[in-house]
């Protein structure tokens, strides 16, 4: 039995946990922000870096001065000074430093603070080592036992030895063995090699020991990949470091070869899978050739007698005659032991619905061999490669001409969507799907989309069809927008949709164009944030305040389309109405009450019929009050309220049962030089002139009365209009002298004297 090639894959391959986390964080950030800075390359793999750069990644060697995007710190970590610079520049950080690397930073910083000299086993130019040095200021870097031996170890000093996480574990063991052998008790060794690195190295070494050829997949600049290569090379002479399937050394591989595959931490799964898939294809191809070689000896003579070919090969171009056609497949006589079969999907790069409409029996047809025998024994053929070159030329022309075509979206991923153009599967990156940045790729599957060819080659020059639907959508929107800008009119009212809300206002879309609705134009009352009135998606009417066609700016107003609170108030209320409101502010002269969004003044003099000293004696902020509208000034937009007007005046209530010459009891409340104030019924203030206080001639009423004294008074007259009583204390009877004398009217605002003058006059009288 013929021996076939065997492919064996190392147990531990691909991204380590730290690198995987960093790469995932980068992809996730770019999905959301579309722009990201990376402090150095995230991974030593050009394919991955190129893909991230296409999505918006910018690799930098210094902390950006401007914080227009987040900064990602890769798994290798950075020095303490970098974090200081980040804080200084106020840059938002995505810290993807490997937890094992962070542990090393903490160890060296702690030991350095305790006066230890730091020694690092690793590559002095590797980013991880440079980052570690940044946490201990300075360190000696070694890469072998001989390098350690060359160090001048001072017995009077303390040393700490750590290692790069991807350092060769066997080399580190040799160094620690030497330290133990030489009894260097002042050297503390911390093995900080990552367990994943050890497992990867051990697995690679074990695999290499039993393989004829070892393929180490990864970047040639990757430290851990180079260490795998060095380890494998020691036990397997035919060890090769390859970056992708294109570098597979086929001349070292035949049907008897055992091929081992291992990969560094910088190799993504899809590159490893491509290498393995290519080896499997090679294996299958060698098996087919073996079968053909065996059959050639027995069938050669018979085929030659019939004038046919002796054998065919996979990938070979052949010609044949159509012998049978169905809508789904074409059967072709290729002068071989079996007929060839071309399915509808393999007939053309373009979409084919029915093969009977394209070919007929007897037609000569050219195709390429895909497989020597399928499950029914037919030779599987395809015509696609024959058309492919021509199709790519057409796609290039479409790119140059900006041709617009339609495609059905057949697949979606987190990075974009896929559709076919002329039978070639094309990729539409997420940022090329729509002008809507939040477009969900999954929502486009099964839909027809207008697209243009963006690229026909990738950065490496390989054929790759990249499409854009965003560019077409943008062109269509610009054309529609220009039409709207020509028709929209200032002062008109339009229906719009709230698209975005900011602190300073909201953006409203009108017929496809966005206008700014400033916060001051949202409501008639003062609001702190637009979200108090609006939410995204609201359908509202807005009035166009101004149009700047040159700069494509539109200023809108929402409140102009609705009645103001003042207008609504006037529609609802008039002078004399009784209203209810809430006290919003209290001032010395009264209180402001909010009634239907209008602030009304309730003056202190209109709080109570009795004299009010302080507003807070009656009201407090937040209190609900009922009052009467005393006046509305339309010009100044002012409303006056009164509370006391809702109750009967105390004087009117008291005077109902009062008549002239009645004797009533009063309380002296204030004493002036020209008379006294008395309280009637506890809430009516009246003035009795000095002449009615006593029959004697007085310098001051204080000579015969005092504040708080209760006295009897005679009602001389009742002034209902002026709300006043003409009173007199009960005096000695001196005929009709007092009864015919009209009471003097007290008008304190007309008094022309000062307290100083009054006291002076009183003292003068006493000294006479």
pLDDT tens digits, one per residue of 43-102: 777 777 888 888 888 888 888 887 778 899 988 899 998 888 888 888 888 888 888 899
Q: Is 98 annotated as a binding residue?
A: yes
Q: Is 649 annotated as a binding residue?
A: no
Q: Is 126 annotated as a binding residue?
A: yes
Mean pLDDT of the chain: 84
How many domains would you assign to the chain? 8
125-160: string of b/e by CB count within 10 Å (b at 16+)?
A: ebbbbbbbbbbbeebbbbbebebbeeeebeeeeebb
Mean pLDDT value across residues 12-31: 80
Together in a domain, 205 and 274:
yes
Together in a domain, 441 and 367:
no
Residues pairing with 557 in the sheet: 543
Q: Which residues contact 737 (CB under 8 A, 6 or more apart)?
A: none
Residue 147 CA to residue 174 CA, distance in Å, equals 12
Q: CATH no. for residue 499?
A: 2.40.50.140
pLDDT at 551: 82
Q: Is 236 annotated as a binding residue?
A: no
Residue 325 CA to residue 327 CA, distance in Å, equals 7
Given the residues 65, 92, 110, 128, the one annotated as active site? 128
Alpha-helical runs (H) found in 538-655: 565-572, 650-655
pLDDT at 428: 93
Contact 40, 61 (CB under 8 A): yes
| Helices and strands: H and E segment counts in the chain | 16, 37
Together in a domain, 597 and 682:
no
Of 422, 421, 345, the residue nearest 381 (C-alpha): 345
Contact 55, 32 (CB under 8 A): no
Residue 414 CA to residue 175 CA, distance in Å, equals 47
**Tokens 């898939």 correspond to what residue?**
277
Q: Is 194 annotated as a binding residue?
A: yes
Together in a domain, 377 and 450:
no
128 is a catalytic site residue: yes
Together in a domain, 200 and 281:
yes
In a domain, 425, yes or no: yes
Together in a domain, 177 and 214:
no
Q: Is 44 annotated as a binding residue?
A: yes
3-class secondary structure, 75 = coil
3-class secondary structure, 597 = coil
Q: Is 165 annotated as a binding residue?
A: yes
Together in a domain, 641 and 688:
no
Q: CATH no. for residue 283?
A: 3.40.1010.20
pTM over 0.75: no
In a domain, 757, yes or no: no
pLDDT in tens, 176-207: 999 999 999 999 999 998 877 778 888 899 99
Look at residue 752 and tell me whether its pLDDT is greater than 50: no
Instruction: Look at strands 590-595 and 638-642 and give their pairing.
Output: unpaired
In a domain, 113, yes or no: yes
Token readout for 390 is: 């021509």
Q: CATH no. for residue 42?
A: 3.40.50.11270
CA dihedral 121, 125, 126, 129 (to 10 degrees): 50
Q: Is 266 annotated as a binding residue?
A: yes
Residues pairing with 591 in the sheet: 586, 602
Residues pairing with 366 in the sheet: 319
pLDDT at 765: 44
Band the pLDDT of 389: cuts 50, 70, 90.
confident
Together in a domain, 515 and 447:
no
In a domain, 307, yes or no: no
Together in a domain, 637 and 705:
no
Token readout for 651 is: 């004087």
pLDDT at 43: 77
Look at residue 398 and tell me whether its pLDDT is greater than 50: yes
Backbone angles phi, psi at 515, to 5 degrees: -125, 155
Higher pLDDT, 640 or 559: 640
Q: Is 204 annotated as a binding residue?
A: no
Q: What is the DSSP letter of 228?
A: H
Mean pLDDT value across residues 7-22: 79
3-class secondary structure, 201 = helix
- Looking at 384, 416, 450, which one is the last position of a domain? 384
Look at residue 727 and tell me whether its pLDDT is greater than 90: yes
Q: Distances from the Cα of 506 to the Cαs of 496, 545, 670, in angstroms?
A: 11, 15, 63
Domain of residue 494 covers 488-561
Band the pLDDT of 107: cuts 50, 70, 90.
very high
pLDDT at 297: 46
Contact 98, 18 (CB under 8 A): yes
Together in a domain, 209 and 274:
yes
Token readout for 759 is: 């006291």
Contact 86, 73 (CB under 8 A): no
Mean pLDDT value across residues 148-174: 90
Band the pLDDT of 131: cuts 50, 70, 90.
very high
């Amino acid at each position: 039995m013929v021996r076939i090639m065997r492919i064996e894959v190392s147990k531990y391959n691909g991204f380590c946990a730290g690198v995987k986390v960093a790469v995932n964080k980068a992809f996730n950030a770019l999905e959301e922000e579309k722009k990201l800075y990376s402090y150095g390359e995230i991974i030593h793999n050009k394919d991955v870096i190129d893909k991230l750069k296409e999505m918006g990644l910018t690799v930098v060697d210094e902390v950006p001065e401007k914080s227009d995007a987040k900064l990602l710190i890769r798994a290798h970590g950075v020095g303490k000074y970098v974090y200081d610079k980040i804080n200084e520049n106020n840059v938002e950080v995505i810290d993807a430093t490997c937890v094992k690397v962070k542990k090393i930073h903490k160890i060296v910083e702690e030991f350095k603070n305790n006066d230890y000299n730091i020694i690092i086993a690793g590559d002095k130019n590797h980013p991880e080592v440079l980052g570690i040095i940044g946490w201990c200021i300075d360190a000696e870097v070694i890469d072998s036992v001989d390098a350690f031996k060359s160090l001048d170890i001072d017995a009077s000093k303390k040393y700490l030895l750590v290692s790069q996480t991807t350092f060769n574990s066997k080399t580190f063991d040799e160094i620690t063995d030497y330290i133990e052998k030489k009894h260097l008790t002042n050297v503390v060794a911390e093995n900080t090699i990552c367990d994943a690195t050890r497992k990867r190295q051990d697995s690679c070494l074990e695999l290499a020991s039993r393989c004829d050829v070892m393929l180490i997949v990864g970047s040639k600049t990757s430290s851990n990949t180079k260490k795998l290569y060095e380890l494998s090379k020691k036990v397997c002479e035919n060890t090769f470091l390859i970056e992708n399937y294109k570098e597979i050394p086929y001349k070292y591989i035949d049907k008897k070869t055992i091929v081992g595959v291992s990969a560094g931490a910088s190799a993504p799964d899809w590159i490893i899978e491509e290498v393995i898939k290519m080896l499997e294809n090679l294996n299958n191809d060698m098996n087919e050739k073996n079968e053909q070689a065996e059959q050639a000896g027995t069938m050669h003579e018979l085929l030659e007698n019939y004038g046919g070919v002796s054998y065919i090969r996979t990938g070979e171009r052949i010609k044949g005659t159509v012998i049978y056609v169905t809508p789904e497949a074409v059967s072709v006589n290729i002068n071989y032991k079996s007929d060839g079969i071309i399915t509808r999907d393999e007939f053309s790069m373009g979409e084919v619905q029915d093969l009977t409409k394209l070919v007929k029996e007897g037609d000569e047809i050219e195709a390429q061999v895909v497989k020597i025998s399928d499950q029914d024994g037919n030779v599987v053929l395809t015509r696609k490669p024959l058309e492919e070159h021509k199709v790519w030329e057409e796609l290039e022309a479409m790119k140059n001409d900006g041709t617009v075509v339609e495609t059905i979206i057949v697949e979606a991923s987190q990075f974009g969507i896929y559709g076919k153009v002329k039978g070639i599967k094309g990729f539409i990156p997420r940022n090329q799907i729509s002008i809507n940045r939040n477009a969900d790729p999954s929502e486009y599957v099964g839909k027809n989309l207008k697209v243009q060819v963006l690229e026909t080659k990738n950065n490496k020059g390989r054929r790759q069809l990249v499409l854009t639907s965003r560019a077409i959508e943008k062109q269509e929107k610009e054309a529609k927008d220009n039409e709207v800008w020509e028709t929209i009119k200032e002062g008109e009212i339009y229906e719009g949709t709230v698209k975005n809300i900011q602190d300073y206002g909201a953006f409203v879309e009108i017929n496809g164009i966005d206008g700014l609705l400033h916060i001051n134009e949202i409501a008639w009352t003062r609001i702190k944030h637009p979200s108090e009135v609006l939410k995204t998606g609201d359908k509202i009417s807005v009035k166009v305040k101004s149009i700047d066609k040159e700069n494509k700016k539109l200023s809108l107003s929402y409140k102009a389309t609705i009645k103001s609170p003042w207008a609504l108030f006037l529609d609802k209320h008039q002078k004399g109405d009784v209203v209810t409101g809430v006290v919003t502010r209290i001032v010395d002269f009264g209180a402001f009450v909010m009634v239907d969004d209008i602030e009304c003044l309730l003056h202190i003099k209109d709080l109570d019929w009795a004299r009010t000293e302080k507003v807070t004696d009656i009201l407090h902020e937040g209190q609900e009050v009922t009052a009467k509208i005393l006046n509305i000034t339309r010009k100044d937009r002012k409303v006056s309220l009164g509370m006391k007007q809702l109750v009967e005046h105390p004087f009117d209530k008291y005077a109902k049962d009062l008549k002239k010459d009645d004797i009533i009891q009063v309380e002296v409340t204030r004493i002036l030089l020209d008379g006294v104030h008395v309280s009637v019924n506890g809430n009516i203030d009246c003035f009795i002139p000095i002449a009615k206080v006593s029959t004697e001639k007085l310098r001051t009423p204080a000579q015969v009365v005092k504040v708080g004294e209760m006295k009897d008074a005679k009602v001389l007259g009742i002034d209902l209009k002026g709300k006043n009583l003409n009173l007199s204390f009960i005096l000695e009877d001196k005929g009709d002298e007092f009864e015919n004398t009209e009471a003097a009217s007290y008008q304190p605002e007309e008094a022309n004297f000062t307290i100083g003058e009054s006291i002076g006059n009183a003292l003068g009288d006493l000294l006479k």
